[in-house]
Every structure is written in C-alpha cells, then in structure tokens.
Amino acid sequence: MKGIARRLAGHLARGLVMIWVVLTFTFVIVSIMPGDPVQAEYELLLQQGHSPQQAEAQTAMLHRFRPTGSVLEQYLEYMGSLLRLDLGQSVVTRVDVSTILGEATRWTVIPVLIGTVLSFVLGVLIGVYAAIKRSGKLGDALTLSGSLLRGLPDFVVALILAAIFATLWPVLPRSGAVNILYEPGFNLDYILSLGQHAILPIATYAISSYGGWILAMKSSVVTVLGDDFILAAELRGMKRSVIFRYIARNAILPLFTIFALSIAALFSGAIFVERIFNYPGLGMLLINSIGRRDITVMTGAFLLITAAVIVANIVADMFYTVIDPRVRRAGDAA
Amino acid sequence: MTLTTPMSPDGPPSVRIRDLTVVYRTAAGELPAVRDVSMDLAPGTVTGLVGESGSGKSTLALSLLNAVQPPGRISAGSVDIGGLGDVVQLRGDKLRQARGGQIGYVFQAAQNSLNPLKTVGKQLLDLGRSHDVKDLRALVAEARDLLARMGLDGARVLDSYQHELSGGMRQRVGIMLALVLNAHVVVLDEPTTALDMITQANILEIIREIHAERGLTTLVITHDIGVVAEVADEIAVMYGGRLVEQGPVRAVLGDPHHPYTRGLIQAIPRLTGDIDEAQALPGRPPTLTTIPDQGCVFRSRCALRMDVCDTVDPLFQSTGDRMVACHAVAPAATFTTTTSESEREMTPSRAWSGIGSGRREPAADGDGVVARETNEGDSA
Amino acid sequence: MSDVAAMTGATVTRATLRRNFWGSVWRVLLRKPSRLLGVVLMLGFAFMGSIGPMLYDRPLPRDPSVQFASPSLRHPFGTDFQGTDVFSLLVIGSRYVLLTALITAVVSVLLGTAVGLVAGFRRGALDAVLMRITDVNLTIPGLPLLLVLSTVWEFSGAWEMGLVLGLLGWGGLARAVRSQTLSLRERGFVEAARGLGLPNRHIVGRELLPPIAPYIAMNALMSLIVAVYAQVGLFFLGVMPVIGENWGVMLNRAVFDFGAMTTPARLPYMLAPLLAILLLTIAIVLVVDAMDEVFNPRLRVE
C-alpha cells in the first residue's frame, strides 16, 4: 500500500506541474491576444462612466484578468483565482463558466465513454481472435484492417458515417444532441431522441479507436501465448477456461498504458465529432468560444480538457498498479 | 523426514516408450526431431537423459505427456505408463487429467513457469479445481508440507508472486506443483540450469530424496553430465533425435561405448586436472534440417567412422550391460537383441561416486562438472 | 597492407549486404502484392505533390453553368461551387498537404530522436528533465492546444504549420528511442565502445543509431499520416483561414458552406479529399507493413 501511495503522490505532483504549464500557456496566449478583450471591456466600462477602480474590479471579476498593473501582478492574480477554481463568467453570455462547462461535459464524457468501452471490448475480442488465427488469411485481414482503422482520424470516420447514414440513406439525425420538439425530462420520446442523436457520435468514437485495440491486443496475446507459464499450465493439466483466464489477464494488462495515452486523442477527436454532428460538448464549446474570443470560457474549457486527460492518465496508471503485483509489491519492498 | 504421502499401493509405475517418432512441420516438409526411440524407465529409478540442445531430448520429454507443441506432432510409437495406458492415445479431459495428475512436469528454473499475476497459492487452487480436487484445504496443507520438506516456509511461499521468489525457490515450487496431486511419474527439464552451484547441489539432493520418499519414476533431462552422475541410476544419451547409448550410470560413465558419449565425457574439464585435457567435440550438433536421413546421425563428427555408417542406420542394441547404437561397437552377442530387456541390469545405483578415473570430486561439492554445449566449446 | 585488405573486405561485405537488403525488400514486396500497391500509391502521391500542380494553368477554369456537376469522365470527382474541376483542386491542394506533412515528419523525427538518444545515453538528471518534458508533450492534448494557439498566431503557411505540428508530435518517438537506447546500453555496446576510447559522437552515430534507424524510419512514415490529419483537421474546423489550396479547405467548404451533408448531389465534393486521405493512409500503412517485415524478419511466419 505504501508503494501505491508513493506512486500516487508522484503522479499528483507531476499533474500539478502540468496544470501549471497549461495555465501559464493560456495566460501568455490571452496576454498577447490581438484586440485584447480585457482591455476592451475595461475601456468600455470607463466610457460608461465607471471609476477606474470600479472598472478594474469588475473586469478582474469577469475575466480573471487585471487590465492594469505589471505582467507579474496580472499573472499572480490569474493563477490565484484559477487555483481557487474560480473560473469567472463568460464574456459573451455572463453565465458562470463552471455552469457552462458542467453542462457541456456531460455531452462529451458520456458518448466518449460508451464509445471507448464498446471499441475496447470489440477490439480486445477481435484482437484475441486475430492472435489465435495469426497465420491464417482472416487473421491477416483483421490485422490489416486494424492498422488502417487505427490510422483513420475521427473526422474522416465521422464524415463517412454522416454521408452514409444521414445523407445517402437518411435514417439517423445528423445534427444536435436531441430533437428540440421534445420536452426534456424522463419521457420516452425525449430519451429515444437522445439515443438516436448519440448513435453517430458514439459509432465514430468506437470505430476510430478500435483498430488500435485490435493491434495492441493481438501483439499482447501473441507475446503471452509464447510465455512459458502458459505451456506450464497446460502441462499441469489446468482446465482450458483457467488457461484462457491466465492469457486474458496477462494480455490485457499492457493495454492500460495504451489506454492512458489514447485519452488525449479521444478528447481531440471529440472536437471534430462535436463540430461535425453539432453536438453541444466540450469540444464544440472550445471552438465556439475561440470563434467569439470568449476568453474565460476558452480558458476554462482548455483547462478542463487538460485536467481530465491528466486525471485519466493517473487513474489508468493506478489501476495498472493495483492489478500488476510486480509494480504493486515492488513499491512495498522498497 | 516424515513421509507426507503414502506410497501408491502398486509401487512406482513403469514407463515404456516404443518406436516413438516426433516430427516437426517445416518449410522443407515434416522433419523428425525424435526418431524411432524405444526406452524403458524402470519403476522407482531416476533416468538421466543427456544431450546437446537440439538433440530432441526436450521433445522426447514432452512426448511423455503427449504435449508436443505445434508445429510438432507424435507421428508414430507409444508411451505406456503403468496404470495409465498409452499416453499417445489419450485425448481431451483424460489427457488433461493425466498431466499433473499422474505425470508431473518440472520446468527449468529460469523459465517463468508461474503466472506472474497470481500468487503461488492461487495457482495451486486453480490446479486443484482443474483436477476436481474435493478437499482444497487438504491440498493446501499437502503443498505446505511439501514446501516445508524442501526447506521453504510454505505459508509464505504460497502467498508470494513469482517475482518475489529466487531461482531455487521457484524450482522447489515447480517440484511442489508437479507432485502435489500425487503424480508418480515426474519429468524434470533442466532442473539445475541457471542456478548457482550451491542451489544446484541443494535441488539435486531434494530430487534424490523426494524421489525415494514418494516412490517415483523420474526422468531428468539435462545437458550436464554432472547432474546425471549426481542423481541418476540410469543414463540415456541422445543425439540428433536418436538414442545412442543407454545403461546404468556407473557403467556408462566409467566406460562409455558410443563415440559420442565418450566425446561428451572427455569434454568435461576436471577440477584437479590440466584444463587442456578437456577436449571439446569437434563439429556442431545437427539441427532439424541437417540431420542426415540415412546412415548414422553422428558420423560427421565421429572418429570411428566407417563406410557402412554412411548408408546404414546402426541398430540400438544390447551389448552386455547396456544398449548402444554404433557400427563400431560390436554387440557382445547379436542374438541378445530380443532378450536384451530381461538381461539388462536394472539395479539402481544410488549416488555416484568415483566413476572413471577417480580423479573427480562429486558434483555436489560444486566443481561444476559440466559438459558445455559443444558449439560453445567450438568458439572457445 | 592488411588495412587495405580489411577495407576492401569491408566494402565487399557492405556491397553484398546492400544487395541482400534490396533482394529481401523485393521478396517481401512480392510475398504480398498489396505491399507493392502501397509502394505504387506512395510514388503516385509523391508525383502528385511535386509535379502535379505544375500541370495546371492558373487560375483554374471555372464554368458557373456546371456547379456541383456529378462525376464524369471529364470531371472524375465532379465540380465545385464555381464549376471548377474537383480533381484538379485535389492535385493542386496535395502540394501544401504533403509538404506540410513532410516538414512535420522531419521536425518531429529530429527532435524525438535527439531527445531520446540524449536522455538514454546521458541518463541522470538530464534524462529526468527531458522525460518530464516528454511527458508534458505527450499528455497535453494537441488539438485543443493548437486551437488555443490559433487565436494569437495564424500558422497556416506550410512551413509554420509543419513546424508547429512537428514541435507537438515528438514525444512518442523520444520515449521509444530512449528505451531502445537504454536496452542497447544494457547489452554492452556502449561500454565496449567506451572501453575502446571511441568518442561519444562515434558511439551515438555508429553504435546506437543504426539499430534504431529502422524504427525511426517507420515512425517518420506514421507521423506523415498524423500530420496530414492534424492540418486537414485544423482547416476543416475553420480555425485556420478558409483560403488557399488544400484538402482541409475543400472539406470545410463542402461541409459547412455548401451543405455537402444535406444534398447527396454535393457529396462527391466532400468525398474527394476524404478519398485522397484514405488512399494516402492505406499507402503508408502498407509500406510500413513491408518495412516492418524487412527489418524484423522474426515476424515472418514460414
């Protein structure tokens, strides 16, 4: 347990450093942004007859940016407020950024999660099959399809799916998260509509990531099949089901590290998918806020995405640590 | 030193291998890794099977469990095990139950024969469930006793993962897993390779003692003649997929008949002698594709090569106290071929001592009486 | 004298090795004809990006009377909103796409290899620092970062785009090169070379790099794909100005300006760049597959 705690502490420290890097980056971006929105707001308030102190206080409250003072002061103010998780209000709509983010997060996380789990299960199963039949034609074809699909970016998959199922053979809605005709709430029409709208985004997430799982699982299973302990289990007369469990658990293990790395890609993919299907998630929010130069929302969305990736990385690694005794107990012994 | 398991009522089983041929599928067709091997393991004896890598000894060992891995397969012959019948004919659940149940297999210590993600104890339970053991508690108790018998803290080892065990401990765990279901035929594959000298001696002692205590029929596969001298009653020498000499350890090591056996013994560096006296066998052992398909497999490295060796495969026949396959070694009496089995001396000679010139110290004292793989000897 | 003999001996073996190498390349290609297809496609794209754009007079002819024409012999992918041939747009756009991808690959491979080699070779504190930087590079999601960056810097030129994408994409290679370097060290290469008094430059260039080179080459090819996706994606999303000639701009116009998704007749305009991307991906994947077998013969199933 001590090993796990130490590992977790290390991850958290590194995660904080990364958050700091990201915050600094966004601060620099906003500072040098052409047509400084903070300055513009400040001057507007002055024109409306506010005193400089009032105008400054209000701008700072809105944007987490002080329009005046040295760069260092501005930086400290910005970092301070964000570390207090105070994200301010949207420049455009004056709604709390945390509210906006909370609303958008649901639309990203749930479809991404479903799509990932689907592709993981499918990819792992097909990967096992491709590993067992690796010298056959079908195994070969599955492997090649895996490398092609791993290569294909989300937007190509999304556009092709949309072209087929929304344009040529229009059976699924192409835009939005739900039909606005229906009353939001727990009624069948609304839920059905939600499901219908989610099919294409989820399918995109699933298809564009499952090729990677096939390849990873296949090579992992091939490695484990060659391990001595599998033959040893067979020679000890272990049941097939037991041996299968030995293979599966050992082969899936390395996939967790890949999982961590793929999370960042998933969030990037969500930006395309949400733009193409007009889905109101975090990616859409980021694009729209950039288009409107809504710096508070932009900063908040970027921060949230980065934090989510970092946390997901940590969770994946901790999961790995808990499963693999070699990592878990190594920490304890030290 | 208490016996934890009563000896099986019928005593240790015998193993009869007859005309066993194992082939591997390659690009050049099916090539034999083991060809026409006949061999008996007398009940209650330890047989040492010696050969260089590629001689087919591991394949032969796997055949005892009918577990030759693809692309290999047993193409002919039988392996009769007392109380079990012909293993080659066993299929499905019966074969699976025989593995581990009646026949134990112990892997080389350096090989990771344990699932790295499960504790030894959990794998023991998997083993018990696979073999429909009713009383798992008794199984664990038996395993603990066996481990304790081998000088380990049973409870602690059962709670350990593979990476937490040393090579010698792993080897003992392997022996425990092979015996815990009360198997009476045990195959040990390179039991001391990759272990340090002290541990080697330790493991050999354990093998010898457990063998006697539990009434086993044991086959030890090794490239190390010192190991055979240390534990075996009988020695069988393999070359190029063929058995070339078999007989009582004392007799064969003291007076090897087959030129290959002689070469192997001469290649051993003596602790007390001049290092130059050790002579490596010239040439390389054949691989699957370079084994000649007719004539003697050893002729290209043989000092006693004759014309007949190129065309006629020498018969594996009895010459007095042993079996030899060599044209240059005239059988003591050709007519004994049919009655050879009954005539062969089966008296187990327990510990090796002072074989040959008498200059050698016992291997247990750690002098490393090892016949290195001759391809390594070449480069030296 | 003996030196000369040794040298000629060396050149002879090297020449033989090279012949063997090309021989094995040829055998690997022949074993699966699909790989040959990959090589042909790759050459086709190289031709398309380098020579292709010169074959057209600019501005491209427009014919407002045949807007969004269906595919025909004259217009294999139909025409766009101005009646311009979509295929010629595709060819002209390929130059930017491929040039950018090439720059990205070069930048990311140089950076990744350098960081990985230095970290693995030097180890110690420098290694720790470089690996933390690599972690940051790998963890921070690239596309959101690019989007935020686009608010202050319009990096739509081929060189700027290639540079930016390259600077973001070296982490994976660096990590892999480092671990390979470490494993080579373990095998005693480096200690042996050090013992012979060879300079670091020689050790890195002659001992460490060659065994890793095939892996780096394959990685370079794969990073071409990633670069194409990233830049086409940026233009497609509309965060880069929708001007200029490249596949991303075509996609953006087709989907967001001209309703290719709502009107089936306009689909070819959208599908053309997608098809090009697809073919490029297939070509690279097939070539990487062939390279993998040339360099890692153990994968061969005989």
Domains of chain B plus CATH, in order, are: 15-324 (3.40.50.300)
Q: What is the pLDDT of residues C160-209, one digit of tens each?
A: 999 999 999 899 899 989 988 888 877 777 777 777 877 878 888 877 88
Contact map slice: C 110-149 vs A, CB within 8 A:
132, 135-136, 138-145, 147-149
Q: Is the pLDDT of residue A327 over 50?
A: yes
- Quote the mean pLDDT of chain B: 79
- For chains A and C, CB pairs below 8 A equal 129
Task: State the pLDDT at residue B233.
Answer: 92
CB pair distance less than 8 Å for B96 and A253? no
Taking contacts as CB-CB distances below 8 angstroms, the residues of chain B near A324 are 117
The closest of B337, B330, B327 to B298, measured between CA atoms, is: B327
Tens digits of per-residue pLDDT, A47-71?
877 777 777 777 766 666 666 667 7
Among B130, B160, B181, which would you mutate to test the A interface (most chain A Cβ atoms within 10 Å of its Cβ)? B130
Chain B residue closest to A239 (CA)? B130
Q: What is the mean pLDDT of chain C?
A: 82
- B178:A228 CB<8 A: no
* Across A256-270, B200-214, C250-264, least confident range: A256-270
By residue count, chain A amounts to 334
Q: Is residue A181 a contact partner of residue A298, using CB atoms and an 8 Å limit?
A: no
pLDDT at residue B360 in the model: 37
Using the beta-carbon criterion (under 8 Å), do C285 and A147 form an inter-chain contact? Answer: yes
For range B74-89, the mean pLDDT: 89
Q: Which long-range contacts (CB under 8 A, 24 or more apart) does A28-32 make?
A: A29/C148, A29/C149, A29/C151, A29/C152, A30/A65, A30/A295, A30/A299, A31/A71, A31/A74, A32/C152
| Helices B136-149 & B167-179 angle (0-180, nearest 10) | 140
What is the CB-side half-sphere exposure of residue B143 using CA atoms within 13 A? 26
Note the pLDDT of residue B380. Answer: 33
Report if pTM > 0.95. no
pLDDT range class, residue B340, cuts 50, 70, 90 = very low
Residue-wise pLDDT for C112-128, tens only, equals: 999 999 898 888 889 98
A229–B105 CB contact, under 8 Å: no
Q: Is A232's CB within 8 Å of B111's CB?
A: yes
A27 to chain C: closest CA residue: C148
**C57-88 pLDDT per residue, tens:** 777 777 777 777 777 777 777 777 777 888 88
pLDDT given at position A195: 82
E strand spans, B87-184: 103-106
Q: Do C285 and A148 touch (CB under 8 A)?
A: yes
Put simply, the chain A residues between 202 and 241 with a CB less than 8 A from any chain B CB are 227-229, 231-239
Q: What is the per-residue pLDDT for C12? A: 52
Q: Give the strand pairing for B317-319 and B322-324.
A: antiparallel
Give me the pLDDT at residue A232, please.
Answer: 92
- What is the number of other CB atoms lying within 10 angstroms of the CB of residue A254? 17
Which domains are seen in chain C, by residue range?
Answer: 22-299 (1.10.3720.10)
All chains having 3 or more CB pairs closer than 8 angstroms to chain B: A
Alpha carbon distances (Å) from A227 to A223, A235, A247, B70, B118: 7, 13, 9, 15, 15
Cα–Cα distance, B268 to B369 (Å, whole number):
6
Reduce the secondary structure of B67-85 to three states and give it as a string: CCCCCEEEEEEEEEECCCE
With a CB cutoff of 8 Å and minimum separation 6, the contacts of C67 are C79, C80, C81, C82, C83
Identity of the residue numbered B108: Q
- The band of C282, judged by pLDDT with boundaries at 50, 70 and 90, is confident
Locate the chain B residue with the closest alpha carbon to A322. Answer: B117
How close A265 comes to chain C (CA, Å)? 7
Place of tokens 């091997």: B37
Asked if A251 has any chain B CB less than 8 Å from its own CB, the reply is no
pLDDT at residue B371 greater than cutoff 70: no
Residue A87's pLDDT is what?
78
Contact B219, B32 (CB under 8 A): no
Ranges A271-285, B336-350, C3-17, most confident: A271-285
Q: pLDDT at position C182, please?
A: 86
**Highest mean pLDDT out of A28-37, A178-187, B175-184:** B175-184
Mean pLDDT of C156-160: 88
Chain B interface, mutation test: which of A236, A239, A246, A327, most B Cβ atoms within 10 Å?
A236
pLDDT of B76 > 80? The answer is yes
Rounded mean pLDDT, C147-151: 88
Of B105, B117, B163, nearest to A235 by CB-CB distance is: B105
Q: Which residue of C has its CA nearest to A267?
A: C141
User: By percentage, how much of chain B surpasses pLDDT 70?
Assistant: 80
Position A61 scores a pLDDT of 64
Give me the mean pLDDT over the B313-319 stretch: 82
Answer yes or no: is pLDDT of B70 > 50.
yes
The model's confidence at residue A35, banded by pLDDT at 50, 70 and 90, is low
Give kind and range of the element (H or E) at residue B136.
helix B136-149
CA dihedral (B110, B111, B116, B121) positive or negative: negative
Q: DSSP readout, B28-59?
A: TEEEEEEEEEEEEE-TT-EEEEE--TTSSHHH
Mean pLDDT across chain A, nearest whole number? 82
Helices of type H across chain C: 2-31, 33-50, 86-122, 124-139, 142-150, 158-168, 171-186, 189-195, 200-202, 209-237, 247-252, 267-295
B130 touches chain A (CB under 8 A): yes
Interface test with A, best of B58, B64, B102, B115 (most A CBs within 10 A): B115
ipTM over 0.85: no
Say how many CA atoms lie within 13 Å of B107 toward its Cβ: 23
Peptide bond connecting C59 to the previous residue in cis, omega within 30 degrees of 0: yes
Cα Rg of chain B, angstroms: 21
Nearest chain C Cα to A285, which residue?
C144
With bands split at pLDDT 50, 70 and 90, how would you rate the model's confidence at B304? confident
CA dist., res. A237 & res. A243, Å (int): 10
Assess A94–B contact: CB distance below 8 Å, yes or no: no
Look at A249 and B127 and tell me if their CB atoms are within 8 Å.
no
Residue C32 has pLDDT above 90, yes or no: no
Q: CA–CA separation, B367 vs B192, rounded Å?
A: 14
pLDDT for B104: 92
pLDDT at A330 (0 to 100): 59
The pLDDT of residue C164: 93
Q: How far apart are CA A23 and CA A64, in angstroms?
A: 12
Q: Which two tokens stand for residue B13?
A: 């089983």
Strand partners, B237: B50, B245
- Residues in chain C within 8 Å Cβ distance of A174: 261-262
Q: CA C121 to CA C98: how far, in whole Å?
A: 33
In 3D space, the residue among A270, A264, A305 whose CA is nearest the CA of residue A198 turns out to be: A270
Give yes or no for residue A163 having a pLDDT over 80: yes
Residue of A nearest to C241 (CA): A291
- pLDDT > 70 in chain C, percent: 91
Mean pLDDT value of segment B295-300: 80
- Per-residue pLDDT band at C14 (split at 50, 70, 90): low
* HSE of A329, CA atoms in CB hemisphere, 13 A: 14
pLDDT at C5 over 60: no
Confidence of residue A152 (pLDDT cuts 50, 70, 90): confident
Across A153-176, average pLDDT: 83
Least confident among A251-260, A284-293, C234-243: A251-260
Distance in Å, alpha carbon of A273 to nearest chain B alpha carbon:
39
Two tokens at C81?
């909103």
Q: Give the containing element (helix H, strand E) for A196.
A: helix A188-225
Inform me whether the pLDDT recorded for B357 exceeds 70: no
Please say if the pLDDT value at position A3 is more than 80.
no
